[in-house]
Structure 1
Amino acid sequence: MAKAWIVDRWQRIDPDTGRKTKSPQQGRGSRWRVDWYEDKADGTKALRSRSFKVKSGIGSAEEFVTSIDNSMRAGIYSSPEDSRRKFRLVADEFLQSKKSIKDSYRYRLERDLKTWVNPKWGGRAIGSITRHEIESWVNDLQTGTAPFDYTRGNVSLSPDGLSASSIKGIVVLTGSIFKYAMRHNWTTANPVDGVDRPKATKKPMVILGHAEVERLAASAKQLTEDQTDRALVLTLGYVGLRINEALALQVGKVDLDARRATIMQTWSQGATRYLGTPKSGKARTVSLPGFLVAELRPLVEGQPPDAFVFRAARGGDIHESNWRGRVWAKAVTLAGLESKKPTPHDLRHAAASMMIASGADVKVVQLQLGHARATETLDVYAHLWPDHLDVVSDAVELARAAALRASEPPTDRGQARAKT
């Protein structure tokens, strides 16, 4: 591919004398023009041009020639037409390229793109967005001043600043779209690279004890007079299921005699609510405590295999958000746990802490909770295992004493025995 070159539009070369003469264009429009040849997909070359008001300095013809030459040598050249592609169109192609992601994850990407990303960048040329603009946008997301597109009915909701975890998801999505554009040579840089994001502050883990879980279960039943709500709380607090895994559990996947349940599906939210695979993407078998068998038996006996274990009063499935408002929030108050503000997911933490306190190793806890890797379990619950620091330091002290005794000279050891 040929290099770019600069043309003075206000001068022309006399074909007879070879001398520079004034062009009829002198004084009209930008004086400097950069020309270069671009390789096309069909193997031909196309002459490209771009005009500039100044020859040297920032935003000049010479600066553009340098950038064109460098991008050609590095193999990252992008056509001006490509760099002028609208961000919204590139984002749509990026989403279409994602063939193997779960529907719930796709829904989240589409939601963030519609609500936060496109309102800011959708109409911009993909190659015109700068890192400084991205940094300013991240700050606006944090302060709640970023543009957005979110309405409920006819009322537009103005959000407060987003959480650090929400900002992370939005910024990562934006960076992925730029990476997709770079792979297709539609832009030469990813302005998201290296942009600082606010650090997430980890919410203190709420861990309930046996008595607190029991109070919650009793309160749930007192509120609704339904064994289903009591059994659901106990299942979450002692088995460690995610709430939508528990609500998707079917009678045919429970073996009360063997005290086992097979977790094969979960409720997920896409464009609509649907039954999908668990978070890890794999089915797992979990153990049920003996006392829970008696709690679950009335819910499964006489029911068809495809019936949900935890059913609404009129039959059918229970919707998590409805159950939170109808039962959970009121049960927390009735149980006197308002100060701790537990969520249904905190019952999963309670189950993990009870397993660990009872001597379960990390692999057992991993399998019961359905973590993809044991390292994930340790990342979340390492602080709950006994540290055994005194055992280690005592063993080191004993080893030191033995080594020092062995290193004493023979005469010293004899004298020591004689004195004894």
Structure 2
Amino acid sequence: MGFTKDLWNTTVADAEGNKTKVPTARFGKGKRWLAVWHEDGGRERTKAFAKKIDADRYWPTQETDVSRGMYITPADAKVTVDQWCTTWLKGYATRRASTVRQAKTHVALITKEFGDLPLNVVRPSAIRSWCASLKSDGYEQSYVYALHARLSQVMSDAVHDNLLPKNPCSRRTSPPAGKQRPYCATTEQVWALYDAFPKHLQPAVLLGAFVGLRTAEACGLRTEDVDFMRGIVTPAVQWPAQDLKTEASKTPIPIPSQLTLQLSAAVARWGSEWLVTNGTEGQASPWSIDRAMRSVRKRHVKPLPQDHAKDCGGCLVPGLPEGFRFHDLRHYLASLLINSGADVKVVQARIWHASAKTTLDTYGHLWPDADESTRAAVGAVLAARVEGLTEQPRNEGRS
């Protein structure tokens, strides 16, 4: 049980048991009242106050926090954002290497803004200001959203580790997600990309556009992962030989015989254990595919057309937006399946999304005739009503 102690006076008893207050050696020096409470395990903690009422209010709150498991020790209360992020990253190192690299990039921007501050000093208002300044500095809205999510993750783990009583991040501090509808390449653009890619990297375009593999998954696909007889692709690892991004990525994907023939022809030509090679028998890297994509976006047929500056009709892949990535070939596959009549669960399985909600959030606008189908459904009910009203007088006249 906590209590408040007077540091200026002490109570002494004489031989007859009479108690009187006498000044201590600290009388008149410093703060007079000492709040005393106990942590888990019985360790005594104290804090001095100038006024008794403040000490009387303080120690009960500390003991309440102890009983609720929300107590923060004085030492932990001094832990800075930078110190905690260093500890947090050590524990986060068990994730995939690419995931850890991304986390380190995010944490570097977080510590640049809040690094010297104790964790419990970071306020929601400061987080909102930080997000606004990131946006004004030119960061994309989606990236600002990702940084806020990372800060919230770091702070939430600090709460779990009893370094913070509450996460200062919330939906009220979060910026808009800034998601945009994905650009879906046309079939003509996909084949133009295929033709413009180096021969040894062309299988990657096929795997991205018609199987839905990500860059690292395409580079990690081995000949043993493809059943050429039955036409089934079953990814097992991603580049260079790491675990796949999710368990869903291991789902077998059926492919048509036409695609099987093209992939088997590439295997025969390069004689490698990898579907996508470096031009010999070695494994291609994701960077080689990214470089090829950037090169294709910038290359033009010659001579350049006169209207090149306005509307480039001389690009190897006309109409392809700046920043188009290999990963965006997955959007083409999704649009291809949707236009063929596939439902959301089929598209989810082929794109390896963890949930149908993700599929709908990303591609919901691509499902055709959404407006027409709802209009037709309502129209059918109204038409039936009108038809019933027009037939009623006829029946009455016959009777």
- TM-score range for the pair, normalised by the shorter chain length: 0.7 to 0.9
- The correspondence for 2:268, drawn from 280, 283, 301, is 301
Where does 1:72-83 land on structure 2 (aligned, <5 Å)? 72=66, 74-83=68-77
Spell out, residue by residue over 1:196-226, the C-alpha distance to the aligned partner (whole angstroms, 9 max, x if none): 1221222342122222222222222xxx4x2
Which residue of structure 1 aligns with residue 47 of structure 2?
50
Decide whether the 8 Å contact of 2:142 with 2:179 is kept in 1: no
3-state SS in 1 of match to 2:279: coil
Change (3 A) 1:21 1:139: farther
3-state SS in 2 of match to 1:276: coil
**CA shift at 1:131, angstroms?**
3.7
Decide whether the 8 Å contact of 2:238 with 2:244 is kept in 1: yes
Which residue of structure 1 aligns with residue 363 of structure 2?
381
3-state SS in 1 of match to 2:139: coil
For 1:403 and 1:90, the matched residues in 2 are separated by 72
Change (3 A) 1:50 1:138: farther
Which residue of structure 2 aligns with residue 36 of structure 1?
37
**CA shift at 1:308, angstroms?**
0.9
Query: Does 1:254 pair with 2:226?
Result: yes
Which residue of structure 1 aligns with residue 310 of structure 2?
none
For 1:135 and 1:32, the matched residues in 2 are separated by 38
- The correspondence for 1:65, drawn from 59, 63, 77, is 59
Decide whether the 8 Å contact of 1:6 with 1:32 is kept in 2: yes
**CA shift at 1:237, angstroms?**
2.3
3-state SS in 2 of match to 1:35: strand
Where does 1:268-279 land on structure 2 (aligned, <5 Å)? 274-279=241-246
Q: Return the letter of the residue paired with 1:9.
A: L
**CA shift at 1:275, angstroms?**
2.5
Q: Return the letter of the residue paired with 1:199.
A: P
Change (3 A) 1:403 1:264: farther
Q: Return the letter of the residue paired with 2:139.
A: L
Q: Return the letter of the residue paired with 1:215.
A: A
- The correspondence for 1:313, drawn from 279, 294, 297, is 279
Decide whether the 8 Å contact of 1:280 with 1:371 is kept in 2: no
Which residue of structure 2 aligns with residue 196 of structure 1?
173
In the alignment, structure 2 segments of 5+ residues that lack a partner are: 301-315
Decide whether the 8 Å contact of 1:251 with 1:303 is kept in 2: no
Alignment root-mean-square deviation, CA: 3.4
**CA shift at 1:276, angstroms?**
2.0
For 1:93 and 1:27, the matched residues in 2 are separated by 44
Which residue of structure 2 aligns with residue 367 of structure 1?
349
**CA shift at 1:324, angstroms?**
2.1
Decide whether the 8 Å contact of 1:214 with 1:234 is kept in 2: no
Decide whether the 8 Å contact of 1:308 with 1:317 is kept in 2: yes
3-state SS in 2 of match to 1:170: helix
For 2:135 and 2:20, the matched residues in 1 are separated by 61
3-state SS in 1 of match to 2:164: coil
Spell out, residue by residue over 1:1-33, the C-alpha distance to the aligned partner (whole angstroms, 9 max, x if none): x13x33343344454464445443234333332
3-state SS in 1 of match to 2:147: helix
Which residue of structure 1 aligns with residue 207 of structure 2?
235
Which residue of structure 2 aligns with residue 117 of structure 1?
110
For 1:211 and 1:302, the matched residues in 2 are separated by 25
For 1:346 and 1:238, the matched residues in 2 are separated by 12
Spell out, residue by residue over 1:336-366, the C-alpha distance to the aligned partner (whole angstroms, 9 max, x if none): 4366223222221112212221222223322
Where does 1:95-134 land on structure 2 (aligned, <5 Å)? 101-113=95-107, 115-122=108-115, 124-134=117-127
**CA shift at 1:66, angstroms?**
5.2
Decide whether the 8 Å contact of 2:235 with 2:251 is kept in 1: yes
For 1:352 and 1:179, the matched residues in 2 are separated by 35
Change (3 A) 1:62 1:299: same
Decide whether the 8 Å contact of 2:219 with 2:276 is kept in 1: yes
For 2:189 and 2:183, the matched residues in 1 are separated by 12
For 1:30 and 1:200, the matched residues in 2 are separated by 50
What's the % identity of the aligned pairs?
Answer: 24
Where does 1:333-344 land on structure 2 (aligned, <5 Å)? 333=298, 334=300, 335-337=316-318, 340-341=321-322, 342-344=324-326
Change (3 A) 1:180 1:385: closer
**CA shift at 1:124, angstroms?**
4.5
Q: Return the letter of the residue paired with 2:339.
A: A
Which residue of structure 1 aligns with residue 8 of structure 2?
10
- The correspondence for 2:143, drawn from 155, 166, 178, is 166
Query: Does 1:209 pair with 2:210?
Result: no
Query: Does 1:219 pair with 2:196?
Result: yes
For 1:415 and 1:131, the matched residues in 2 are separated by 72
3-state SS in 1 of match to 2:43: strand
For 1:193 and 1:385, the matched residues in 2 are separated by 33
Size of the alignment, in residue pairs? Answer: 376
In the alignment, structure 1 segments of 5+ residues that lack a partner are: 144-159, 268-272
Decide whether the 8 Å contact of 2:38 with 2:63 is kept in 1: no
Spell out, residue by residue over 1:252-287, the C-alpha distance to the aligned partner (whole angstroms, 9 max, x if none): 2223343332222223xxxxx652214445412223
Decide whether the 8 Å contact of 1:163 with 1:200 is kept in 2: no
TM-score after normalising by structure 2: 0.79
Change (3 A) 1:119 1:62: farther
Spell out, residue by residue over 1:90-127, the C-alpha distance to the aligned partner (whole angstroms, 9 max, x if none): 445545656975454344334433x1334455554444
Decide whether the 8 Å contact of 2:110 with 2:151 is kept in 1: yes
